[in-house]
Structure formats: structure tokens, C-alpha cells
Amino acid sequence: MLKEFKEFAMRGNVLDMAVGIIIGASFGRIVSSVVNDIIMPPIGLLLGHVDFSNLFINLSRTHYDTLADAKKAGAAVIGYGAFLNTVIDFVIVAFVVFLLIKQVNRMVKPQSAPATPPTKECPYCISGGIALKATRCPHCAAELQAA
């Protein structure tokens, strides 16, 4: 059983998938950093010094200045600012994956249909698909000139 697991784990597809997952996780952290540290601060500044990660709805009757204070106190809150950041993360990742797939599809040559062998048409019965070297039409048995 250990041998079978080793064969499974060492297949190219499994290793490729593992590398893809590791790179994808790292890419996700990079995108989160871009959103949280580069994109959201200017948007928050334009909207009046709003820190999206600190936006929340307090479901308890006690007032808290920040989301961290509310969570520290154990208050029930809806942290919609963090949700907004996550949605923006997703949109950026989806857009980058779209651009990547678009470029890969552009680089990969489309596979052409298999070439059909050259044929000729019978001048008597107008049937097509006759091999070029044929001397008789398979449909009407008329004599044909070889190509």
C-alpha cells in the first residue's frame, strides 16, 4: 500500500497540482497585500478617511470605536469592511486569472482539423471523393484519367 501511495504521489499531475496550490496561495497573499496596503487606502482617503477593514455593524447596544475593540469585548458584530476587502481580492484574482488564460489561449495554436486526402470528381456522374489515382469511378464505373 505504501508503494501504491508513492506511485500516486509521484505522478506528474499530483506534483503539478501541489505546485499550483502553493503558488496560488502565495499569489493570494500578494493580492491581499495589494488590496489592503495599496488599493484600499487611497479609496478610503477619497471617501473621507475611511478604513474599510474597520467598518462594522455593532449588534450589541454598547458603543465601540474600532472593530478590534468590539471583538476584544466579545460583542456581536458584522465586519462588512473585511468582507469588502475580500470581495475586491476575489475580483482582482479573477481578473488576473482571466488575463492569464487569455494570454495562454493566444499563445497556444489552435489545432487544425485533420487534412482530408485530395480527391477528384467524376465528370460523368458528378460524384466526388474519388481517389486521385483511381482509373474508374466507383459510383458509375466510368473510365477516368489518372491524375
pLDDT at 13 over 80: no
Same domain, 34 and 92: yes
Same domain, 103 and 142: no
Same domain, 127 and 97: no
Could you tell me the pTM of the whole model? 0.52
Q: How confident is the model at residue 147 (pLDDT cuts 50, 70, 90)?
A: low
CATH number, domain of 64, equals: 1.10.1200.120
Q: Which pLDDT tens digit goes with each residue over 15-45?
A: 778 888 898 888 888 888 887 788 878 877 8
Q: Which pLDDT tens digit goes with each residue over 67-124?
A: 889 889 999 999 898 888 888 878 887 887 788 888 888 887 776 666 777 888 888 8
Instruction: Count up the domains in the chain and report the number.
Output: 2
Same domain, 120 and 102: no
Q: So what's the pLDDT on residue 146?
A: 67
Q: Which pLDDT tens digit goes with each residue over 45-55?
A: 887 767 777 88
Q: So what's the pLDDT on residue 12?
A: 65
Domain that holds residue 7: 2-107
Which phi-psi region, left, alpha or beta, contains residue 141 (left: φ > 0; alpha: ψ -120 to 50)? left
Q: So what's the pLDDT on residue 78?
A: 92
Q: So what's the pLDDT on residue 41?
A: 81
Q: So what's the pLDDT on residue 89?
A: 79
